[in-house]
């Protein structure tokens, strides 16, 4: 295990851009971080940025829990704008993590601070701007990930220590999610996640000090101890150099686990 960066202010949402740069957020620092060729650059955005998804054109899409919105940063001109901030006339429920599907839809979770009430929900933003609620009634829905073919979606329900998984119909924007894996104890529980090339889903389990490997049948098959108790998210390096990169919030670390190999390719839509 290697430490890439220290002293980050609640890092979240690592992901890799087409040019090989590693991006993440500092939720308590109010901005984005860009790591390329060993140089770390901070980009102030305000708010409380969480997850990141990068489109094929290199734009950085991110959830902002503080501004209750999904926003996009364009590294080419330095601009940052809000894409969507409401659903059915109400502010979004503190968006957390997001991912593109194969059709260019952008899916994102809205935990809505649902620790004691099941008021978390999941949204789909279509390329034409249509926003649809695809799931509701969750206790802090959090990280999400598509399978390699894009046909299934996994969503973490943090305060029930479990993962949901089911068929994703991109054309109809419909998800058939069911409880798939349980026992991912934190507390509170599972946060961000990433699929390895062998089908293992690696999950950052906040509060546990571990990342956990879940096999295709939904069983936890491996646990790896980390130097801090609060891993928030993870992503595989497409270049195969860094392996699985993990953000850890207790000590503000960006970690690399080369032994975990490669991940599946992510979809890069342009919603």
Instruction: Look at residue 271 in the predicted model and tell me its pLDDT.
Output: 47
Residue 95 confidence class, pLDDT cut points 50, 70, 90: very high
* pTM score of the predicted model: 0.97
pLDDT range class, residue 131, cuts 50, 70, 90: very high
Q: Would you say residue 139 has pLDDT above 60?
A: yes
Task: Decide if pLDDT at 13 tops 60.
Answer: yes
pLDDT tens per residue across span 18-42: 999 999 999 999 999 999 999 999 9
Give residue limits of the domains in the chain.
2-260
3-state secondary structure the chain: CEEEECCCCCEEEEEECCCCCEEEEECCCCEEEEEECCEEEEEECCCCEEEEEECCCCCEEEEECCCCEEEEEECCCCEEEEEECEECCEECCCCCCEEECCCCCEEEEECCCCCCCCCEEEEEECCCCCEEEEEEEECCEEEEEECCCCCEEEEEEHHHCEEEEEEEECCCCEEEEEEEEECCCCCCEEEEEEEECCCCEEEEEECCCEEEEECCCCCEEEEEECCCCCEEEEEECCCCCCCEEEEECCCCEEEEEHHHCCECCCCCCCC
What pLDDT score was predicted for residue 270? 59
Q: Is 90 exceeded by the pLDDT of residue 15?
A: yes
Res 174 pLDDT > 80? yes
Average pLDDT of span 171-176 = 97
Sign of torsion, CA 193 196 198 203?
negative
The pLDDT tens digits for 186-199 are: 999 999 999 999 99
Question: Looking at residues 164-170, what average pLDDT do you find?
Answer: 98
pLDDT digits (tens, 9 = 90+) for 44-88: 999 999 999 999 999 999 999 999 999 999 999 999 999 999 999
Sign of the Cα pseudo-torsion (178, 108, 192, 151, in order): positive
Mean pLDDT of the residues in the chain: 96
Provide the CATH topology of domain 2-260.
Neuraminidase (2.120.10)
């Amino acid at each position: 295990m290697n430490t890439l960066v220290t002293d980050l202010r609640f890092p979240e949402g690592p992901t890799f851009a087409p040019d090989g740069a590693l991006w993440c957020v500092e939720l308590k620092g109010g901005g984005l971080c860009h790591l390329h060729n060993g140089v770390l650059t901070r980009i102030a955005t305000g708010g409380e940025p969480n997850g990141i998804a990068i489109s094929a054109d290199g734009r950085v899409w991110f959830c902002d829990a503080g501004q209750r919105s999904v926003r996009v940063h364009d590294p080419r001109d330095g601009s940052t704008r809000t894409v969507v901030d409401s659903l059915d006339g109400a502010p979004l429920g503190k968006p957390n993590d997001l991912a593109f599907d194969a059709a260019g839809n952008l899916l994102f979770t809205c935990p809505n601070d649902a620790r004691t009430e099941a008021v978390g929900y999941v949204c789909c933003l279509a390329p034409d701007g249509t926003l649809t609620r695809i799931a509701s009634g969750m206790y802090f829905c959090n990280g999400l990930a598509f399978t390699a073919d894009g046909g299934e979606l996994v969503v973490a329900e943090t305060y029930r220590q479990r993962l949901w998984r089911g068929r994703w119909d991109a054309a109809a924007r419909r998800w058939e999610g069911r409880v798939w894996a349980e026992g991912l104890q934190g507390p509170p529980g599972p946060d961000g996640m990433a699929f390895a090339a062998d089908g293992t889903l690696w999950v950052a389990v906040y509060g546990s000090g571990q990342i956990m490997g879940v096999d295709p049948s939904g069983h936890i098959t491996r646990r790896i101890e980390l130097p801090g108790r609060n891993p928030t998210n993870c992503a595989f390096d497409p270049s195969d150099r860094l392996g699985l990169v993990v953000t850890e919030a207790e000590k503000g670390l960006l970690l690399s686990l080369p032994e975990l190999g490669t991940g599946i390719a992510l979809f890069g839509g342009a919603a």
